[in-house]
Structure 1
Amino acid sequence: MNLASFGMDTITLGGSLATKLAASRAAGFAQIMLWARDLTGYPGGLAAAVELVRASGQRVTGIQVMRDYEGLDGNLHEYKLDVARQMLEVCRAVGAPLLMVCSSTSSHASGDIGLIARQLAKLATLAVPLGVRIGYEALSWGRHVNQFTQSWDAVALADHANLGVVLDSYHILANRGDIDGIDEIPSDRIALVQLSDYMWRELRSPEERLETARHLRVYPGEGAHSDELARMLRCLSRAGYRGDYSFEVFNDDYQQLSPDFVARRAHASAKWVTDQVLRRSLQVRQAACVEVPA
């Protein structure tokens, strides 16, 4: 783990796509997570947006986000499949190696784990020729899949090399997930780790959990769950994860502030994260080197 492993997420920053890219680069980030609407909604069109991203010199961590894809059937499934195909084309256009898929919140979705796994594998197969991997994330308010252990169950059952699980610290913390269980996921099956925190110890209702998720997240090191986050990071390190980390921080306050200011806070958080892992690892190594008296 080093600072090159971390990237901004455009959802945190105010301003235009050009402003967000410039702020991220100026803060020292080499990669950035984009939302499909960043590109398709760009005034100059998709091709111009892609050129802007390339000119920034930053690699794209991935594209957000395919919602309510799995567990549907009939016309609903075909509709979502068409949407997914178009999002994969956006990934290919901008060179994004990952398409994020969030667990379904739809009342029309089935909780049949076999169906979920088959549909995720189907999407992963469609993505192979485009050079895009599929990452499946458990939303803490997902209808049937709302714990990372459940999203991993679906990914493991799908057994597709082009499909991995996405771990999001907010959703794990919000649902009091078993952090130590992360050790059980093979590191090569983790597609991405998304990091954020929030300012209070407990979420007192489903409504507060949703409100906090969409408007009031903060960076690691700024919130009330630093100990849990540090433990999660160390679990990932012990498990051998060496992939990307993205700061997915939905925060209305940050979107009203200078993007440069917010991006610098994100970079300080990246240093906090690396310190939690590297400092602890150094302490363990030093302890192991202490001679035991005969």
Structure 2
Amino acid sequence: MNLANFGMDSITLAGPLEAKLRASQALGFSQIMLWARDLAGHPGGLDEAVRIVRASGVRVTGIQVMRDYEGLNGALHDYKFDIARELLRVCHAVGAPLLMVCSTTSSHASDDIHLVARQLAKLATAAVPLGVRVGFEALSWGRHINQYEQSWQAVELADHANLGVVIDSFHMLANRADLDGLADIPAHKIAMVQLSDFMWREIRSAEERLETARHLRVFPGEGAHSTELADLLRRLDRGGYNGDYSFEVFNDDYLQLAPEIVAARAHRSAKWVTDQVLRRSLEVRRPVHGQPVMA
């Protein structure tokens, strides 16, 4: 395993798009997960943002995020499907192979798992001509789907080659998920693994869950659940997963720091994952300014 397996999530870094790309590259990361608003909100417009990303040489692993998509009917579904297609076009433009879809929190959504599966398959079909895959993630506060086993149930039922499940360590830790179910998910059906931790053992309320998720996550190796994270990562490794890992760390403290400082913390986390968890050395292949990046 080498640093090319890991990438930053742009939500973790302060500053404009260009600063996030530079900070990520400076520590040897060759990939990044972007949010659509990174591109849509660029002062030069979407086309200029796409040009900057492509010129940087950084590989975009995916685009965040389609929310509240599944389980809707009639005009509500038509509206959300139209928005999702626009996000697929953004993925295609910037060369992102994955659109992230989070389980719905909408009170208007049905809990019919067969409807959910059909709608996910519909979106996955729409993504095929654009060369984009759809990844479905269970939010720990999702209205009907809030455990990774449920998101996998929907993906398995959809039975679409262009649809996979997203494994997110924060939501699994927050829900105290039973990791035995990971053995039921084929490695090729895992579209992405998102990594983060938090600083306390217990989440005591729904409000604290949201506050922690959106403002107080930390990198793997920094939090209170290193044992559980190590177990999760080793299970994924034994199951044959060899895809991307993204550090999705929502943290207000980090947004007050220079992006280079935060990227250095991510680099230490990648080293923790490889050296301490998977018992391998972190191989760094990407030179910076003619000098090798030391692990």
Normalised by the size of structure 2, how large is the TM-score?
0.94
* Equivalent residue number for residue 111 of structure 1: 111
* Equivalent residue number for residue 276 of structure 2: 276
* Equivalent residue number for residue 150 of structure 2: 150
* Equivalent residue number for residue 84 of structure 2: 84
Name the SS for the 2:167 alignment partner. strand
* Equivalent residue number for residue 171 of structure 2: 171
Letter in 1 for 2:71: G
Q: How many angstroms does 1:274 deviate by? A: 1.1
Query: Which structure has the greater CA radius of gyration?
Result: 1
List aligned pairs for 1:57-76, cutoff 5 A.
57-76=57-76
List aligned pairs for 1:215-234, cutoff 5 A.
215-234=215-234
Question: Matched residues in 1 for 2:184 and 2:238: separation?
Answer: 11
- Percent of pairs with identical residues: 76
Name the SS for the 2:101 alignment partner. strand
Q: How many angstroms does 1:280 deviate by? A: 7.8
Name the SS for the 1:279 alignment partner. coil
* Equivalent residue number for residue 14 of structure 2: 14
Runs of 4+ in 1 over 4 A off after TM superposition: none
CA distances 1:13-53 after superposition (whole Å, capped 9, x unpaired): 11110011000000110100000000011110111101111
Name the SS for the 2:32 alignment partner. strand
49-58 vs 235-244, greater mean Cα deviation: 49-58
Give the gaps of 5 or more residues in structure 1: 282-294
State the aligned residue count: 281
Letter in 1 for 2:273: V
- When the two chains are superposed, the root-mean-square deviation of aligned CA atoms in Å is 1.0
CA distances 1:89-133 after superposition (whole Å, capped 9, x unpaired): 000100000000000000000010000000000000000000000
Question: Matched residues in 2 for 1:110 and 1:235: separation?
Answer: 33
Contact 1:138 1:150 in 2 (8 A): yes
Question: Matched residues in 2 for 1:148 and 1:203: separation?
Answer: 18
More helix by percentage: 1
Normalised by the size of structure 1, how large is the TM-score?
0.94
Question: Matched residues in 2 for 1:88 and 1:100: separation?
Answer: 10
Letter in 1 for 2:247: F
* Equivalent residue number for residue 29 of structure 2: 29
* Equivalent residue number for residue 288 of structure 1: none
173-182 vs 126-135, greater mean Cα deviation: 173-182
* Equivalent residue number for residue 39 of structure 1: 39
